[in-house]
């Protein structure tokens, strides 16, 4: 490599070293906040009016079974589903009201149609009156039930 090629090589790496990070920053700024927001969650092929898929926003009463078993120093909350969940980001909360707020206590995550058992200290149930199944992805309450109405 002669002097002329070394200078050209140094100049090209200098341009690449400064230009490439600047182009990356410009590309990151151009990314939409939610690139998948415009894509419908349930889509049907053309010319089909009913795909047989209905969008569920709530869990029906017959599709969920919640039971609380109280023991000496803790309670076991059993949640079982008989139909698939709408979202993979579904969680269960204990709350003092019928909505999820800052006082809500997270019980656990619910990922699929199955039975779940969560151990909750008895002092966590103090002041809590509702159990809520909440879809974090869509910011939607799927199911709420007053604790007094549950099978104990």
Residue 151, pLDDT above cutoff 60? no
Measured between alpha carbons, how far is 64 from 98 in angstroms, rounded to an integer? Answer: 17
Average of per-residue pLDDT values in the chain = 78
Q: Residue 72: what pLDDT?
A: 79
State pLDDT tens for residues 91-100: 888 888 878 8
d(C-alpha 2, C-alpha 139), whole Å: 64
Q: Which of 109, 113, 149 is nearest to 129 (CA)?
A: 149
Domain ranges of the chain: 66-149
Confidence band of 150 (pLDDT split at 50, 70, 90):
low
pLDDT in tens, 125-140: 777 888 888 888 888 8
Q: Report how far residue 18's alpha carbon sits from residue 86's, in angstroms, rounded to the nearest whole number.
A: 47
pLDDT of 34 over the 90 cut = no
């Amino acid at each position: 490599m002669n002097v002329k090629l070394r200078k050209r090589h140094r100049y090209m790496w200098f341009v690449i070293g400064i230009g490439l990070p600047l182009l990356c920053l410009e590309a990151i700024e151009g990314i939409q906040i939610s690139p998948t927001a415009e894509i419908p969650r349930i889509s049907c092929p053309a010319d089909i009016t009913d795909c047989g898929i209905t969008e569920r926003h709530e869990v029906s009463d017959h599709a969920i079974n919640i039971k609380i078993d109280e023991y000496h120093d803790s309670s076991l909350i059993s949640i079982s589903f008989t139909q698939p969940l709408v979202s993979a980001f579904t969680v269960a909360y204990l709350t003092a009201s019928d909505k999820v707020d800052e006082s809500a206590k997270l019980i656990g995550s619910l990922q699929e149609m199955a039975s779940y058992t969560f151990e909750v200290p008895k002092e966590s149930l103090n002041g809590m009156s509702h159990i809520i199944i909440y879809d974090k992805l869509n910011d939607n309450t799927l199911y709420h039930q007053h604790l007094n109405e549950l099978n104990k």
